[in-house]
Structure 1
Amino acid sequence: MLGLRVFGMLWTLPNSLLGLLLGLIGLAFGARMRWQPRELALVVRRWPWSRGGALTLGNVIVHAGERLDTPCLTYAHRAGRGIEPPVSLADHERAHVYQYMLLGPFFLPLYLLCGGVSVRNPFERAADRYAQSGQGWWPWTGDV
C-alpha cells in the first residue's frame, strides 16, 4: 500500500507543484503550511485570498481557515437539492487528494470537463459522499 501511495504522489507531482507554488506565495502574506499525514497532503491554512472553502492541487490543500477539519455544507445542500448535515472539509478534500493520486495529470482536465466547481460534477459529488460515509471517493464506480 505504501508503494502505491508513493507512486500516486509522484504521478500527481505536477499538480502538487502548482499547489506548492500557491502555498509559497501565501506564506509571504501570512499563510501557514504543515504536512498532515491523514490527508496525505501539505495543508496551507490561513490562505489570505479566499472567502472560505478549500482548493486541492495534487497533495496540497489550500484553505482560508485555521483548521481544515471544520464542518462544511455539501454541494447538493448548497444547490438546494436537499437538506443534508454538514460534512468535514478535511474528509471532502482528502477524497480529492485520492482522486488526484489516481488520475495524476489527467485530473484537472477531467474535473473541468465534468463541470468544474458544481453540484453536477461527479468528482464533487463523490467527495461529498466520501465525507458523509468514508467510502465512495471514486466518481463513477463506488470506492477504489
Structure 2
Amino acid sequence: MQSRERGTTAGRWLLLLAGVSWTLPNSLLGLLAGLACMPWGARPQWRRGEWALAFRRMPHRGSGGALTLGNVILYSCDELDTPCFTYAHRAGHGNEPRISLADHERAHVFQYMVLGPLFLPLYALCGGISVYNRFERAADRYALQRAGWWPWPMA
C-alpha cells in the first residue's frame, strides 16, 4: 500500500510541475509586472496554498482587487485572505455570502495550470472581466464551495 501512495504522490507532483511549466509564459508576465511595481510598494510573498508567488500592495486605481497571471497573483490589499463579494453579488444577480479572495484567485491558478498559454485568449473570448465570464463564475463557485474551479461542465 505504501508504494501505491508514493506513486500517487509522485503522480500529483508530476502533474503540478507540468502545469507550472505549461503556464510559465503567463507567470513570467505576472512576475515582470510584480517586480516592476516594487518601487511603488508591491511586496512578494510565496503562497503555498495557492501555488503562487503573490505580490501584495500592488498600486491600483478604483476599488482594487486582484489579477492572476499563471502562478503569480497581483493584488492591491495587504492580505490575500481578504473577504470579497462574488461577481454575481456585485452585479445584483443574487445575495451570496462573501468569499475569500485567496480562494477565488487559487481557482484561476488551477485554470492557468491546465490551459497554460491558452488561458488568456479563452478568458477574453468568454467575456473578459465580467459576471458572465465562465472563468469568473467557476472561480466564485470554487471559493463558495471549495469545488468546481473548471469553467466547463464535466459530463
The Cα of 1:84 is off from its aligned counterpart by: 0.5
Which amino acid is 1:126 matched to? A
- Corresponding residue of 2:138: 126
- Corresponding residue of 1:20: 31
The Cα of 1:123 is off from its aligned counterpart by: 0.3
User: Within the alignment, does 1:2 sit opposite 2:13 as a pair?
Assistant: yes
For structure 1, which segment, 48-57 or 112-121, has the greater mean C-alpha deviation from structure 2 after superposition?
48-57
Q: Deviations over 1:35-74 (max 9, x none)?
A: 1110000000000124311000000000001100010000
- What is the correspondence of 1:1-144 to structure 2 with a 5 Å cutoff? 1-50=12-61, 51-141=63-153
Query: What is the distance in 2 between the residues matched to 1:31 and 1:140?
Result: 34
Query: What is the distance in 1 between the residues matched to 2:94 and 2:59?
Result: 31
Query: What is the distance in 1 between the residues matched to 2:40 and 2:87?
Result: 29
Query: What is the distance in 1 between the residues matched to 2:112 and 2:143?
Result: 16
Matched residue of 2:124: which SS? Answer: helix
Matched residue of 1:14: which SS? Answer: helix
Q: Deviations over 1:78-111 (max 9, x none)?
A: 1100110100000000000000000000000000
Matched residue of 2:19: which SS? Answer: helix
Matched residue of 2:148: which SS? Answer: coil
Structure 1 runs, 4 residues or longer, greater than 2 Å off: none
The structure having more radius of gyration, on CA atoms, is: 2
The Cα of 1:33 is off from its aligned counterpart by: 0.3
| Uncovered stretches (5+) of structure 2, i.e. residues with no partner | 1-11
The Cα of 1:141 is off from its aligned counterpart by: 2.0
Which amino acid is 1:83 matched to? N
Per residue, is there more helix in 1 or in 2?
A: 2
Q: TM-score, normalised by structure 2?
A: 0.90
RMSD: 0.8
